[in-house]
Structure 1
Amino acid sequence: MRGIIWANFRLLLRKPGAFITTTIICIAFAYLLGKSSFTKVEVPVYSSLPEEEVNLIIEDLNKGDAFEFVVEDEQEVKNKVAAGSVEAGILLEADSFTLYQVGNTENFHLINQYVERYYIKRLKEKAVIDLAVDTNKALEKINEVKENQLFQLSLASFSDEEQWVYDPGLQSLFGFALFFSIYTVAFNVVEILREKQMGIWDRLILSSTTKMEMYIGNLLYCFFIGYIQIALIFVVFKYGAGVDFYGSFGKTLILIIPYLFSIVALSIFLTGIVKTIGQFNALVPLISVSFAMLGGAYWPIEIITSETLLTISKAIPITYGMELLKGATISGLSYSELLYPISILILMGVVMMGIGIRLMERRHV
């Protein structure tokens, strides 16, 4: 069995093209669709105001999640805007601001609205202070209002029936990682069918290796290769893109195990129902894309309102894979709270694995 696993890894090292390609494509898709949450848009600013006042303005502006305002000299800001290396540059003044741009860019209007809202708030506070008899008391009152907002905001778990939390970065990362792992696992599992049709298994059975060991060795290899791919993608995004896993990075590496088990089982099930490699190659993209759409890999499943689609999603492994990963990170759920999706994935895996192997053996492929 170990020899089969080792031989498959040796073959992978000889021809790693497909593995590397799917991994790079997955990283590219996840980054491009979730980049708004991975990085802030840099906005250079300059001002003739006193340094202390400029620093206070910059500190307030940088409290947002989307933009990072950086103080630079006037000429450098204008050169960057003219070269198109930044989307906009800003001149900060006491009561107003001037926005520099070359053309309409993706975030220009958002930057304008964000800074405009800040200055409106700033002018209102200044008007209150100017009209106040006691300036110190007015400042204290303003700070008190800031600390005790009229409306209190709270976060709720996506598993809550009424509310859910959406993290676009993790949504795209988890969704595409689980989606592309189907291709990686499935096109390695189908090698069992290819080897049986070529008579390789007939020759191996004559050795001391049993048929059970051959199945286990090949399926373990498929599991390991899928696990390595997902783990590699997660590592790249955590340490390369600085994605926040909410302190549950290690937990996600454990929770992908039941998902991958179900995908290996799904692949062997599909291998058992097809007759040729061509049929398998046509069926896998159809199944994987359908599962990704219905299981919440492309978009949050929480936005789906159709009861029919939600019912169908209950039979799809990606649904529970996304629930595990988002539950562990965004919602901070413990292992005991995630036992239900884990159990469903294991049950799916056992059933599909048994049926798939049974079908292959009955057909004497």
Structure 2
Amino acid sequence: MAYVPVKGGEAAILNALDLVAEERRGDPADPELTLAQIRTQQARAVDRVMAEGSLYDPDLAALALKQAQGDATEAAFLLRAYRTTLEQFARARPLETDRMAIRRRISACYKDLPGGQVLGPSVDYSHRMLDFDLAGEGAPTAPRAEAPVAAQMPRVPDLVGNEGFMEPSEPPAGDPAPGDLTRDPLAFPAPRDIRLQNLARADEGFLLGLAYSTQRGFGSNHPYAGEIRMGEVPVEVVPEELGFAIEIGEVTLTESQMITSVKGASGENPKFTRGYGLAFGHCERKAMSMALVDRALRADEFAEEPRYPAQDAEFVLYHSDNVESSGFVQHLKLPHYVDFQAELRMLREMRAARRATEQEAAE
């Protein structure tokens, strides 16, 4: 239902939208930005919008970024709104990230790994200095051929687990089908599969702040980057008419596993614990933050007293969704004339009552 005061300003609203379109286009003398340019040259922004928009489609994410003038939160909102119009015609099988065609794979725990450290595309090893060469429009450079990478590489936490030093990673009792946060509302207590879904599409900045807080004394775990890997993973479905799996495409994913502090239950040997992060595209900061927050939210599993914001599931899950939080904050820009006038009237009446009381006391 529309706000009544808004109806009278319909012409002003239409003019505002026209101004947005003019700003989006910019100087007509400049070439218009194409979706292909956004998709390929602003790929990290596209990856973030896909993750927070809960929809893997680089072309639509690029369109959303163009429409939103580069506003990642608004673009994620647009992508989620479009996602609600899509019909679910199949459910993919669980992705097997051990089948990933790896383009980047690093570990901070071991120098020498089976399969080796694969640096891949990363700015981690560069100086943070502006490259003014990029301001020009020189001839395109030919892409460099990437060295072949082993088809499968063992995960570092599994290597630690082979020695008995890592908590096992087992499905819940009965291996139930995971929930679907995009179709069912969030409820508490939220199981880990729902928490991970929430974190996977949470605002990256919010997660980064929470992850940082756990390292600044507002958490009880010291993390090690067990393994971070990025690459393409096949997507498979099982059509009813066939009865066997077929590959329908692949998605680019970043997976992070954090090895955290040693824990030992009564009567058990102490072991490392883990946090897990997985998100669309090349988004290491998001996946790492997700893994740190995931471990913080598992405090109850290890008989830890939840004392910090990152360990509070309701605080984290309710406030990490940038689409919902943005809408709630931005709705304050809509007319609240009636509410404000009511508050103002109440304030005047309270002051008048106070003056009357003070006058009676003086008499």
TM-score bucket (shorter structure): under 0.3
Larger Rg: 1
Instruction: Compare the two structures and name the one with the higher strand fraction.
Output: 2
Larger RCO (alpha carbons 8 Å, 6+ apart):
1
Q: TM-score, normalised by structure 1?
A: 0.21
Q: TM-score, normalised by structure 2?
A: 0.21
